[in-house]
Amino acid sequence: MKAVFLDRDGVVNHDPGDYTRSVEEFHILPQFMSQAKKWADLGYKFIVITNQGGVAKGLYKDNAVHAMHQYLQGKCIEAGFRIEAFYFCPHHEAYSGKCLCRKPGSLMVEKAIHRFDIQVDKSIFFGDKDRDIVCAENAGVRGVKIEVNGRIPSPEELNMA
| Residue 154 lies inside a defined structural domain of this protein | no
The per-residue pLDDT for 2 is 98
Rg for the chain, CA atoms, rounded = 15
The per-residue pLDDT for 40 is 98
Which CATH number characterizes residue 48's domain?
Answer: 3.40.50.1000
The per-residue pLDDT for 140 is 98
The confidence band for 107, taking pLDDT boundaries of 50, 70 and 90, is: very high
What domain range is 63 assigned to?
A: 3-145
44 has a pLDDT exceeding 90: yes
| Residue 35 lies inside a defined structural domain of this protein | yes
Compute the distance between CA of residue 83 and CA of residue 55 in angstroms, rounded to an integer. 22
Query: What average pLDDT does the structure give for the chain?
Result: 96
The confidence band for 97, taking pLDDT boundaries of 50, 70 and 90, is: confident
Q: Does residue 86 sit in helix, strand or coil?
A: strand
For residue 144, which of 129, 127, 157, 160 has the smallest C-alpha distance?
127
| Residue 114 lies inside a defined structural domain of this protein | yes
Please spell the DSSP secondary structure of 103-144, one letter per residue: TTS-HHHHHHHHHHT--GGG-EEEESSHHHHHHHHHTT-EEE
How many percent of the chain have pLDDT more than 90? 94
| Residue 158 lies inside a defined structural domain of this protein | no
Q: How many CB atoms lie within 10 A of CB 72?
A: 22
| Residue 150 lies inside a defined structural domain of this protein | no
* CB neighbour list of residue 139: distance below 8 Å, 6 or more residues apart: 106, 109, 110, 113, 120
Q: How many CB atoms lie within 10 A of CB 33?
A: 17
| Residue 85 lies inside a defined structural domain of this protein | yes
The per-residue pLDDT for 93 is 86
Backbone angles phi, psi at 52, to 5 degrees: -135, 65
pLDDT digits 0-9 by tens, 30-43? 999 999 999 999 99
Compute the distance between CA of residue 126 and CA of residue 141 in angstroms, rounded to an integer. 10
| Residue 155 lies inside a defined structural domain of this protein | no
- 7 catalytic residue (yes or no): yes
| Residue 157 lies inside a defined structural domain of this protein | no
Find the catalytic residue in 9, 15, 128, 132. Answer: 9
The per-residue pLDDT for 88 is 98
Provide the number of structural domains found in the chain.
Answer: 1
Compute the distance between CA of residue 30 and CA of residue 14 in angstroms, rounded to an integer. 9
The confidence band for 72, taking pLDDT boundaries of 50, 70 and 90, is: very high
132 has a pLDDT exceeding 90: yes
The per-residue pLDDT for 94 is 86
Q: How many CB atoms lie within 10 A of CB 97?
A: 9
98 has a pLDDT exceeding 90: no
The per-residue pLDDT for 87 is 98
